[in-house]
Amino acid sequence: MLKIFKKSEQKLIVAGLGNPGVGYQNTRHNVGFAIIDTLCKRLGIELKSTKFNALYAKLKVADKTIILLKPQTFMNNSGMAVSQFVKYYNISPQNVIVVHDDITLPLGRFKIKQGGSAGGHNGITSIIDFLDSQEFVRLKYGVGAKPLKEMNLADWVLQRFNEDELKTVESSLPDAAEAIIDIINNGVSAAMNSYNSNIKGQT
């Protein structure tokens, strides 16, 4: 039986962030979508339904309901979709996992965190604003820092991975998906202990 990190609740949201459309596929900003796709394959489901400007699917495990979703509102308005699911299913922010790109982590590494500021990520800023809470869980997936300090951040995160980078990403996506399952099964603290210790030189 699943052990949700807020045990009094029976529902959980896992939201991967990204931008809709083929033009954004394999960009750094869309790894949240890629991890959700990998998780869906792992669980044997597809995001076939649409609600609240998001692709979503519901998964029942024992007495728990897990809602997987990919907002289609574009990154900067991610909170619009996430908040509507939170309200509709009456889920606390603590039981929301948001999966997103992070430029402070090395490519292919990821970190689990609960709460905290947006750290300059517009998608996270939107979710904090719409939920009026910072207490949701994040799985932050490293896409690497800008190669040049003067480079525009939007240009960097909207850039596609090159062939070598894509191999690194594809090899690490299953681990990121398993980390989400670990959060669901064992709680945030246990998952942090299992996965965050593997990040060298990061805080």
Query: In the annotation, is 29 catalytic?
Result: yes
Give the rounded distance of the alpha carbon of 4 from its chain centre: 17
The helix-helix angle for 163-186 and 188-195 (nearest 10°) equals: 140
Give me the catalytic one of 28, 29, 70, 109.
29
Type and span of the H or E element at 58: strand 54-61
Q: How would you write 115-132 as a 3-class SS string?
A: CCCCCCCHHHHHHHHHHC
* Helix/strand/coil percentages in the chain, nearest 5: 45, 20, 35
Longest dimension (CA), the chain: 51
Helix (H, G, I), strand (E, B) or coil at 37: helix
| Sole residue written with tokens 């809709």 | 20
The C-alpha atoms of residue 54 and residue 18 are separated, in whole angstroms, by 11
Tokens of 177: 């998906």
CA 14-17-22 angle, to 5 degrees, is 125
Residues classed as catalytic: 29
